Amino acid sequence: MTIAAKILQPTMDAATFLDWVRDSQERWELDRGIPVEMQSERAGHNRAKRRCANALERAVTDADAPCEVFADGMDVVMDGSVYIPDAMLRCGDPVDDDVTRLSDPMVIVEILSPSNSLIEMTTKIDGYFSLPSVAWVLLVNTTTRVVNSVARGEDGLILRRHEEEDTLRLDPPGIALAVADLLPLPPEPAQENAPEA
């Protein structure tokens, strides 16, 4: 479907979209009433998602926090939008095994890639923070090797930049993450051939 066709079609509500997309072989998100097909995922993006989910899992275990980490695949449903974050953390009683969507995550992780720049993520950030449960959105930039955190402040959202050597403290839910653990492993330096003896 072309971008023009998507823009011209009537907008969908979340319930209609979820019914429409249920049997689709492709992956779709609903962005402010407009269905958007997700691009095929690259290996680097998938590795980054796995590292983020693993880092969250370790932080939850270390803090003995009553939270659960979900990797990519669970829908987050808002008014007019349905997004699929790369990873998220939800606190409270565990959800049933059959649940496929959440409306109360506390921490959302999105990996930035060429197809979803920081500017494009602003609509997602607004959508995520429309949910009262969301305290943090983490934007992981694997190219610049920084993590931007977005949190609620007294007068609006607060954006902070975290370098690779930093520790990111998320309260709530009371966990600490090494920024380096959210990033892909750095490439190993090339080794020069040793001279033969």
Asked whether residue 187 is domain-assigned, the answer is no
Tokens representing 153 are 């402040």
Residues 28-74 pLDDT 10s: 999 999 998 888 888 888 999 999 999 999 999 999 999 999 988 89
Greatest Cα-to-Cα distance within the chain, rounded to the nearest angstrom: 74
Alpha carbon distance 17, 3 (integer Å): 17
Above 90 in pLDDT, residue 139?
A: yes
Domain that holds residue 74: 41-182
Residues 72-128 pLDDT 10s: 889 999 988 999 999 999 999 999 999 999 999 999 999 997 766 665 678 899 999
**Strands 107-112, 136-141: pairing kind:** parallel
Asked whether residue 2 is domain-assigned, the answer is no
Above 80 in pLDDT, residue 5?
A: no
Burial class of residue 192 in the structure, from the number of CB atoms within 10 Å of its CB (0-12 exposed, 13-18 middle, 19+ buried): exposed
**Cβ-based neighbours of 170, under 8 Å, separated by 6 or more:** 59, 107, 135, 136, 149, 176, 177
Asked whether residue 23 is domain-assigned, the answer is no
What is the count of structural domains for the chain?
A: 1
Write down the mean pLDDT value for the chain: 88
Residues 19-36 pLDDT 10s: 999 888 898 999 999 998
Q: What is the CATH number of the domain that holds 135?
A: 3.90.1570.10
Using left for φ > 0, alpha for ψ between -120 and 50, and beta otherwise, residue 32 falls in left
State residue 118's pLDDT score: 63
> What predicted TM-score, i.e. pTM, was given to this entire model?
0.86
C-alpha distances out from residue 179 to 64, 149, 176, Å? 20, 11, 9
Asked whether residue 161 is domain-assigned, the answer is yes
